[in-house]
Amino acid sequence: MLPDVVVIGGGIVGCACAYYLSREGVRVCLVEKGTIASGTSRAGQSHIVLWEEPDINLQLEKASRDLYEELSEELPFDIEYRRTGSMAIVENPADWEAFARTVRSLQARGLNCQLLQNDDLIRLEPNLAPDLAGGAFFPEDAQVNPILTTLALAQAARERGADIRLFTEVTGIALSDHRVAAVETTAGRIPTARVVDAAGVWSAAIGKMVGVDIPVIPRRGHIIVTEPVPENLIHCKIILAAGYMQTLGATTGVALSANIQQTRSGNLLLGSSRDFAGFDRSVNPAVIQAQAARNLRFLPALADIHVIRTYAGLRPYSPDLVPIIGEADSVKGFYIATGHEGAGITMGPITGKLISEIITGKAPTVPLEPLSLRRFSQRQEED
Ligand SMILES: Cc1cc2nc3c(=O)[nH]c(=O)nc-3n(C[C@H](O)[C@H](O)[C@H](O)COP(=O)(O)OP(=O)(O)OC[C@H]3O[C@@H](n4cnc5c(N)ncnc54)[C@H](O)[C@@H]3O)c2cc1C
C-alpha cells in the first residue's frame, strides 16, 4: 500500500513524527540513510529543558515535557525518563542581579522556579565550588536517554504499522504542479503526496530538492563522558552554568559553558561547546580541554574522575533559535520539522504531535505561526 506520508530522517524528530502520525491511523513510511538515531540524536546530552526563551520555545518545551510524562508510560521500553529538575548556577556576583531578573520574569510567566542564594546552593550541592554566586532550581525540568527515546518511538511507530526503511537515502523529490508526487531513494521511488523533512542538519539539502530554502546549518557541540560516579557527587542530575543561555546567541568562535549531567548508569556527560565548523564532526582537543576546565571550575571533584571518551555532534541551528515546523508555502505536501538546535531532545515529541495535527487537520497544541518558515522572509521584507 502506498504511504500517505514519507518521513525523511530517523532522528528523534522524524521518529516522533512517525509515531504520532501512525497513532492517528496515517500510513507512514520513514526513510533513514543510516540507522535510527545515527545523526545528532545519538550525540545529545539528556536535558528536557523548560526555560529556554523566546516564549514560543517555552510553550513547546512545556507541551513536550507533558508528552514525555505519557511517553514514559506508553512506549514499548524504558527511555530513562525522570523528573530530576535542573539547577542553573551563576559564577560571578556581578552577574547575579541580571540572572535574578530573568528568573523573576520566568516566574511571572508561570514557570515554577526558585532562586538559590550561595548558602542554599552549597547546602543542596556540597561538592560545588564554595565561591559561586548563587543559582536557581527548575523543578519541572527532566531527563531522558535520547537514543533509547528515538529507538522506542521508532519501535512504537512500527507496531502501529509504520514502514521503517533503514540504509535508504533520499536522493530527490518529484513534484507535479508544485505538489509532492514521489520520493526518490537509493532503494527506489516511493509515490506519495506528503513528505516530512525531518533531516536535522541535512534538512536544507532536502529542501533544495524542491526549491525550498531552509536556513538550518550545523553547529558543533562536544561532549566529555566520564566513568560512572557515585550518585551523591551531584544530587540534582542536571547542573549548568547560568551563562549557558548566553552561549546560545554566540555567532563566532567557540562558546563554552559548564553543563554537568549524570545519566541513569552513573556516567557524567560534560558539555558544552558551540561552534560553526560546517559538517565537521571531529573532536577538537583544545575545545575538550577548555570545556573540562569550565566544568572543573563549578565542580572541583571532577579532578579525580576519569574520562572514558569524547565526541562531537552537530546541532541543527536555525538563525532565531526557534524550530521550523509546518508546511512550506511554495510546495503543497512538503512539511518541515527541523532547526531544534540544542533542544531537539526536549522538543522532539511536541514536534511529532504538531506535524500529525497539521496533516490530520486537527487544532494545533501550540500556535504555528511563530514556527513557520515564512517568518524569515517576512523579517527580510520588514528590514
Ligand atoms: C552535544 C549536544 C548536546 C545536546 N544536548 C541536548 C539536550 O540535553 N537536550 C535537548 O533537548 N537537546 C540536546 N541536543 C540537541 C538534540 O540532540 C538535537 O536537536 C536533535 O537530536 C535533532 O534531532 P533531529 O531528529 O532533528 O536530527 P537527527 O537526529 O540528526 O536526525 C536526522 C536524520 O536524518 C537522516 N538523513 C539526513 N539526510 C537524509 C537523506 N537524504 N535520506 C535519508 N535520511 C537522511 C540522518 O541520517 C539523521 O539520522 C544536543 C545536541 C548536541 C550536539
Which ligand 1 atom sits nearest the alpha carbon of residue 314? 53
Q: Are 12 and 2 in contact (CB under 8 A)?
A: no
What is the CA(9)–ligand 1 centre distance, in A? 9
294 — phi, psi (to 5°)? -60, -45
- Determine whether the shortest distance from the Cβ of 340 to ligand 1 is under 6 A: yes
From 225, 282, 315, the mutation candidate for ligand 1 (largest count of ligand atoms within 8 A of CB) is 315
What residue segments make up the domains of the chain, in order of their start? 5-75+146-215+320-382, 86-139+217-317
Strand 134-138 vs strand 86-90: parallel, antiparallel, or unpaired? Answer: antiparallel
CA–chain centroid gap for 50, Å, is: 12
Ligand 1 midpoint to CA 316 (Å): 7
Beta strands in 263-352 (DSSP E): 267-274, 307-317, 324-327, 334-338
Residue 347 burial (CB < 10 Å; 0-12/13-18/19+)?
A: buried
pTM over 0.75, yes/no: yes
Whole-number Å distance between alpha carbons of 77 and 66: 18
Q: Is 84 in the pocket of ligand 1 (CB under 6 A)?
A: no
Residues in a beta bridge with 179: 176, 332
CATH 3.30.230.70 for domain 5-75+146-215+320-382, yes or no, is no
Structural contact between residues 294 and 257, judged by C-beta atoms closer than 8 angstroms? yes
Q: Whose CA is nearest to atom 15 of ligand 1?
A: 342
User: How high is the pLDDT of residue 246?
Assistant: 86
pLDDT single digits (tens) 303-350? 999 999 999 999 999 999 999 999 999 999 999 999 999 999 999 999
What is the torsion angle, in degrees rounded to the nearest 10, for the CA atoms of residue 108, residue 112, residue 117 and residue 118? -140
Instruction: Identify the three-state secondary structure at position 148.
Output: helix
| Residue 123 · residue 130 · CB < 8 Å | no
Q: Which pLDDT tens digits describe the chain residue by residue (383 residues)?
A: 899 999 999 999 999 999 999 999 999 999 999 999 999 999 999 999 999 999 999 999 999 999 999 999 999 999 999 999 999 999 999 999 999 999 999 999 999 999 999 999 999 999 999 999 999 999 999 999 999 999 999 999 999 999 999 999 999 999 999 999 999 999 999 999 999 999 999 999 999 999 999 999 999 999 999 999 999 999 999 999 998 888 999 999 999 999 999 999 999 999 999 999 999 999 999 999 999 999 999 999 999 999 999 999 999 999 999 999 999 999 999 999 999 999 999 999 999 999 999 999 999 999 999 999 999 998 888 87
Fold of 86-139+217-317: D-Amino Acid Oxidase; Chain A, domain 2 (3.30.9)
3-state helix, strand, coil in the chain (%, to 5): 35, 30, 35
DSSP 364: P
Q: Go through the chain and tell me how many residues it has.
A: 383
Radius of gyration of the chain (CA): 21
Which ligand 1 atom sits closest to the C-alpha of 222? Answer: 1
